[in-house]
Amino acid sequence: MPVLSIEHLRQVGAAIFAAAGAPPAAANVVAKLLADANAVGHDSHGVIRIPQYISTIEKGEIVPHAEVEVVRQTAAAAVLDGHWGFGQVVMNQAVEMGLERAGNCGVAAITVKNANHIGRLGSYVEHIAEANMIGLLCANSHGAGAGVAPWGGIAGRLGTNPLAGGWPDGEGGALVLDITTSVVAEGKVRVKRNRGEPVPEGWIIDAAGQPSTDPADFYDEPRGSLLPFGGLMGHKGYGLGVVVELLGGALSGAGCARGRKARIGNGCFLLVINIGRFQPLAEYAAQVRAFADYLRASPKAEGVDAILLPGELEKQEREQRQAGVAVEEETWRQILDCAHRVGAVLPSV
């Protein structure tokens, strides 16, 4: 597998998206967020998505030069329409609007509709936390959710419906929780498929509702489903998935899950909270530091080296991957094919 630097991956993505018709600023936003996902170990939301995005552009489903429209707004709220451009572009604008409004009003709520895949949610809430605010974000599949079975069902009726939160850690960084309400993100099944590896037991069922470890049972017709997270307590993941549909789908106007015939994308709900309007920032930071120390001081189970807080594993991955990221041969082949199709000139390694 080729091992490439994060900056090289960003440059490759930016070159390909620009050649496919995206304005340079938009191409850079998308490429940076994809490369950042690789940097923290979430390859499922990294450059593996470049072929997906280019294919979607070729089908006319991503409008690379689309402009974001503010449909309505108040001092503390806004509704954004991405007009089916890159999801990262509209979500980036939503974050900046949320920060500005929360700075003025204490809290801000922003919804997004008609957006393509926004990528890794953790990147957005981490940025908010680094601005000393709290960010809560969730996204549905814009009505096209059909990959995750409901609790007790065997056919897909929901998207993976991720949700994320970012909080200042009291030390200049961020605590970041970024999870799907399914047992795993769809992209992690995609990575396993591209590596020619089976998925772990408990991730997917086939079309007949039987447990499977073959990624093809999820992607090939008749299609199987991912399971909600929670195992025997899967009603919890299912319930959270429903909540995401109501916030990211119904409230945003993107629509709740209604099957694969709906146009796939992301409907989003973002809440930004200005800590200083509720608690002096120094007092908040002291509370978080003390809480983190209390958690880390827990006696450890056998084989556990350290108690980690949400987002710390990603921080470790970022340090370890400074030397480069290994990209699957099949993924890299697909990326090079995309570059050829759009006529992109890629930077030399």
Quote the pLDDT of residue 348. Answer: 84
Kindly tell me the burial class for residue 248, based on how many C-beta atoms sit within 10 Å of its own C-beta (0-12, 13-18, 19 or more): buried
Phi/psi for 174 (5° steps) reads -140, 145
Residue 214 has pLDDT above 90, yes or no: yes
Closest CA to 42 of 52, 33, 51, 50: 33
The answer to whether residue 101 scores a pLDDT higher than 90 is yes
Q: What is the pTM of this model?
A: 0.94
Element (H, E) at 276: none
pLDDT tens-digit series, residues 150-200: 999 999 999 999 999 999 999 999 999 999 999 999 989 988 998 999 999
Q: For residue 2, what are its two tokens?
A: 């080729």
Could you say which of 3.40.50.1100, 1.10.760.10, 3.40.640.10, 3.30.60.50 is the CATH number of the domain covering 184-224? 3.30.60.50
Summary mean pLDDT of the chain: 97
Query: 220: which 2 tokens?
Result: 């090939």
174: Cα separation from own chain's centroid: 17
| Short-list 96, 113, 105, CA closest to 76 | 105
Indicate the burial class of 83 (C-beta count within 10 angstroms; 0-12, 13-18, 19 or more).
Answer: middle
DSSP annotation of 182 reads B
Strand partners, 79: 72, 111
Q: Where are the domains of the chain?
A: 1-65+315-349, 68-183+227-297, 184-224
Say whether pLDDT at 146 is over 80: yes
Question: What percent of the chain is predicted at pLDDT more than 70?
Answer: 100
- Is residue 210 within 8 Å of 217, Cβ to Cβ? no
pLDDT at 349 over 80: no
Per-residue confidence band for 102, with pLDDT thresholds at 50, 70 and 90: very high
Copy the structure tokens of residue 163: 């949700």
User: 1-65+315-349: which CATH number, 1.10.246.90, 1.10.1530.10, 1.20.210.10, 1.10.1040.10?
Assistant: 1.10.1530.10
Name which of 129-133, 262-266, 288-292 the model is least confident about.
Answer: 262-266
Question: Helix (H, G, I), strand (E, B), or coil: what is residue 194?
Answer: helix
pLDDT at 261: 82
**Residue 170 confidence (pLDDT):** 93
